[in-house]
Amino acid sequence: MDAVVLALDTRPGARPSDRLAGLPLALRAVLTAAALGAARVWLVLPERAEQEGLVLARDRRARRLALEVACLGPDVPAACRALAARVGADAGAVPLLVVDAAHLHDPASLRALAPSQRGDTLGAAATRDGLACGALAARDGARLLGALGASPGPDLRAAARALAARGELTPVDVAAGWCADAGTPDGRREATRRLFEACRKPVDGLVSRHLNRHLSLALSRRLVALPVTPNQLSIATFCLCLPAAWLAAEGGYGPTLAAAALMQLNSVCDGVDGELARVRFEASRVGAWLDTVLDDLSNLVFYAALGLGARQLPGGDLLAVSAWVAVGAGVLTAAQYYRELAVLGSGDLYALGWQLPAGTDLGARLVRAAALVLKQDFFLLLFLLLALAGVLSYALPLVATGALVTLAAATARGLRRRRALSAGGSSPR
């Protein structure tokens, strides 16, 4: 599939260089098309916009793509006629997705178009509430460009309406997804909200779902336009654990409470790097590894510091041993997971494909409930509550027990995986 992104200034207030959630509209549309699997993307800009096209093409995210920039126009029919002549035979019989950069779409809505033949029609046009919303697709790209070049509409929505009225395009309702007009203030707000809401994960724990994610998304929305990278935020988030560890090692009510508060802040900020990476198309293997390793390291450093601070308490030696057991088990668990991630070529722990039992019996429901609750976000909030009660250090035996159980589960998983591979099967998830 190829893609054409039309960024022709046909919508007032939605110029190609206008930024939304940290990216120019034209670049956001290009990267969305590439994420959907477009092998080649044509970015069509207004005439005399060569300098603007050069700036967009030099963006580090665009340099990884097969991107062609063409300054054509002044309207959609004229641009499509010129593009059809420029592309020529290269576009013949190649599936084509055409989107208007002035309209932002849920990627799931664009996938629903499935650039293929729709009965006897040329292709499909995305609609919402019966109205065309700036995206269409066809199996034969050359025919689609030719039809758009002959349409009377000045913009893509008008052209889609005209082609649908002639029976050349099949309307496809994308009401299950979302689209927003970037030319209106309400549309821009809606698009920004939707882009960040899509950062929520089904695997979010209970605390993250109802507390941390709300806070991290609010912070991400304020940082998205600033020149700070997700990797820099990963490092900054890790740095929060260093004063927390120093305070925890001091012991005492006040320092321990401050340490737990800093770790709760660390837990909230831990989501920001991933949210910005998704919204700004800045995800990378290096970033995934950095986030995973620093996240684990922050917990291990904090547990070790808690053990040092607990020595002042009655039974402090046992608490300190519990801390080092938790650290040792955490290191061994991480080593096993990192080895599997290296084989998969990913640094994201969710790439391991965790599967929970789907049954309705009591055991399956308990496992699913435990997976929702017993996560890092839950424990860090619990630590803050225990610190308020002045008993944080006494949680270390529980932490050590949890770390040993996690190590046993990781070891069992690794053994099952090796047996499956030696038997010639696929790796168990």
Task: Please choose, from the candidates 18, 190, 88, the residue with its C-alpha nearest in 3D space to the C-alpha of residue 29.
Answer: 18
Cα–Cα distance for residue pair 256/23, rounded to 1 Å: 41
Instruction: List, for residues 317-349, the tens digit of each pLDDT value.
Output: 899 999 999 999 999 999 999 998 998 888 888
Instruction: List, for residues 101-116, the tens digit of each pLDDT value.
Output: 988 888 888 888 876 5
Q: What is the pTM of this model?
A: 0.88
User: Mean of the per-residue pLDDT values for the chain?
Assistant: 86
Instruction: List, for residues 68-84, the tens digit of each pLDDT value.
Output: 898 887 888 888 888 88
pLDDT (0 to 100) of residue 74: 81
Task: Please choose, from the candidates 168, 83, 62, the residue with its C-alpha nearest in 3D space to the C-alpha of residue 124.
Answer: 168
Q: Between helices 272-279 and 213-223, what is the axis angle to 10°?
A: 50
C-alpha separations of 297 from 328, 377, 412 in Å: 12, 15, 23
Cα–Cα distance for residue pair 353/333, rounded to 1 Å: 16
Cα–Cα distance for residue pair 148/51, rounded to 1 Å: 26
Q: What domains, with CATH codes, occur in the chain?
A: 2-184 (3.90.550.10), 199-422 (1.20.120.1760)
Task: Please choose, from the candidates 278, 284, 294, 195, the residue with its C-alpha nearest in 3D space to the C-alpha of residue 238.
Answer: 294
